[in-house]
Structure 1
């Protein structure tokens, strides 16, 4: 009698595993899309605000985190669909930690808005790309990020690119702007890059600590973290707006806006939405990867912003900028190749021990 062939019995949780994998891939795509839209679009619309007559630094800072209530929509949907008894899954200690990061984000928003009010988008974008160097440094200090020769090479190339912009900066100074204001904007933008380079590893550190001490970090928790950071970043900028009397100046500024009063408010709303896409997409990238990965993605999207700035605002694209951009892309390629090489070596080591 022939022996019956043994058919593999499907595991009961196989379907659940597939659903989870599909959900993870979907969220990855959504977060990456938000990062692309936010990174490419937010500098352009903020620069448009200043080019067409906007002058309020604290208002433009406020707009960068002011879209935080939008996160309540997906959070509410998750709460109603799953029927969770807990309205909030975040612990009190994590809430305080995220509030602190939110205040740092608010300060970073102010530095960035101040810088971009004086700099062309193409210049400020390349300067912001140096945040990868600061992210790498703070990731090493805070989350013990391991580096290869390729990642170190990437950091060096980005620093050299930023230095080249400083040396050749006279050619792209906007017409009618003094050297003092231009260099002040240059310094403020570099300061914003350095501070955001600290914020990214701090977000990763908070997720790591929560996962070790309590329960695995979920995407719902990630959204709650961004909600708290956005709220306190906005609160920080609100105080600045009150002292600077920005709230009372909005109506007058809208009437004198170069594109008209209605479009003034459209620009403000669009700015808040695009920056919220950027922040939520970045926190999601940290959740699925690392703070250094988020920094790399921001850097690789730089050429999109560069091209759009030249196309929409007719900004000059000097040879110095071209070299700086090339160094930035070379740095990204070096980092990415290093990560692929490291992953391949790790797989070989695992296969060698089995």
Structure 2
């Protein structure tokens, strides 16, 4: 309606200008009318621009809510990181031999995400009846599917290694993913290196080398030297692939989802797709290896009994889902390096749990490697603390400079 009125007024003004310009001695009035037309055009353009920018901005999260969300995700990572490996090792210790099944369990809990996603959708529909079913764009879906395949491959490497290594050794080796995360974060998302992060990388590498040089007394019963070294190499490979995965997730947030608001709902949708494709990747391995047909027989022969067999694999699936959701949530709230730090910080807890529940030996070499890992973690954490403090000082200094 406003556009019709504007066009109608403009036509009347143009007719007036034509009539006035034909009259002698009224050129000044014609010029005034032309100025009025120009002013109307500017006013109409400004209205269109203001209408375009008056659309509601994407929802933002408050600082307090983000802090609470960060704490929640850190708890999820800690629960999954400490419990997932223990239950997988329990599966192996009492007669479980299906590596592809354990890979499958690491991401098979992804359908549980449909519960919070459904609640989020119903909440959006209540406030906006035309709310979309999901926030995933085709590019985000494709990126999440690729990340899912990478996750499936990483699960296979980790589970294969855990079949031959004690949990305490495997956890120290997995701690080297912090070094790989730092390197890949520098290459992919341009994360800055500091003397503290370089020191952390060096210490974690030395810890892994110490375990490699003193591996003779660490082999579980029934594991050959060749099998132990296979597990060692595969676990390091899993740590490297894990170190690549977290910066890729951060890159996906920054690049593909950068134009839209990255909400926690979007994070869960991405994890749902990642879990689906990772589980599908492992399911193909199970089909080829005929693991589905062997589950019932393996459960009947399991050392702890058939009921506890199913309880162990269900618990492992739930705890690993907590781990993955919490890890990508930490990346959403902060960055990929913090996710790597949290994974590494619970190494002592895993060592203690393995000693208590699995009765694993805690050799002096493991103690030295553990201390080096904690030293590297402390070095890296202190470097992050100093950098955050310097950024805070710069932000406080900026308003003072602007008032000068």
Q: Give the TM-score normalised by structure 2.
A: 0.81
Distance in 2 of aligned mates of 1:306 and 1:300: 11
The equivalent residue for 2:163 is 117
Is residue 47–residue 116 contact of structure 1 (8 Å, CA) maintained in 2? yes
Q: Matches of residues 75-90 of structure 1 in structure 2 within 5 Å?
A: 75-83=117-125, 85-90=131-136
Partner-residue secondary structure (3-state), 1:48? helix
Residue 81 (structure 1) shift? 1.6
Is residue 80–residue 320 contact of structure 2 (8 Å, CA) maintained in 1? yes
Instruction: Decide which of 24, 45, 52 is 2:94's aligned counterpart.
Output: 52
Instruction: Decide which of 166, 172, 184 is 2:230's aligned counterpart.
Output: 184
Aligned residues: 337
Distance in 1 of aligned mates of 2:378 and 2:196: 9
Residue 22 (structure 1) shift? 4.3
The equivalent residue for 2:178 is 132
Instruction: Decide which of 103, 113, 123 is 2:149's aligned counterpart.
Output: 103
Instruction: Decide which of 322, 335, 338 is 1:290's aligned counterpart.
Output: 335
Residue 45 (structure 1) shift? 0.2
The equivalent residue for 1:11 is none
Instruction: Decide which of 280, 288, 292 is 1:235's aligned counterpart.
Output: 280
1:179-226: CA deviation from partner (whole Å, max 9, x where unpaired): 0000000011000000011000000000001343x2120000000010
Is residue 210–residue 216 contact of structure 1 (8 Å, CA) maintained in 2? no
Distance in 2 of aligned mates of 1:30 and 1:293: 14
1:239-264: CA deviation from partner (whole Å, max 9, x where unpaired): 00000000000000000001100110
Residue 340 (structure 1) shift? 1.1
Q: 1:19 to 1:298 in 2, by over 3 A?
A: closer
The equivalent residue for 2:80 is 38
Distance in 1 of aligned mates of 2:94 and 2:290: 20
Q: Say which is worse superposed, 336-345 or 122-131, in terms of deviation.
A: 336-345
Distance in 2 of aligned mates of 1:255 and 1:93: 45
Is residue 140–residue 257 contact of structure 2 (8 Å, CA) maintained in 1? no
Residue 88 (structure 1) shift? 1.0
Q: 1:199 to 1:122 in 2, by over 3 A?
A: same
Instruction: Decide which of 318, 325, 336 is 2:363's aligned counterpart.
Output: 318
Over aligned residue pairs, what C-alpha RMSD do you find?
A: 1.4
The equivalent residue for 1:336 is 381
Residue 30 (structure 1) shift? 1.8
Q: Which runs of 5+ in 2 are unaligned?
A: 1-58
Higher RCO (C-alpha 8 Å, min separation 6): 1
Is residue 94–residue 304 contact of structure 2 (8 Å, CA) maintained in 1? yes
Residue 24 (structure 1) shift? 2.5
Partner-residue secondary structure (3-state), 1:102? helix
Which consecutive segments of 4 or more residues in structure 1 shift more than 4 A? none
Q: Which has the larger radius of gyration?
A: 2
Whether 1:26 and 2:68 are equivalent positions in the alignment is yes
Q: Matches of residues 59-70 of structure 1 in structure 2 within 5 Å?
A: 59-70=101-112
Whether 1:93 and 2:163 are equivalent positions in the alignment is no
Instruction: Decide which of 262, 266, 285 is 2:311's aligned counterpart.
Output: 266
Instruction: Decide which of 274, 280, 300 is 2:345's aligned counterpart.
Output: 300
Whether 1:199 and 2:241 are equivalent positions in the alignment is no
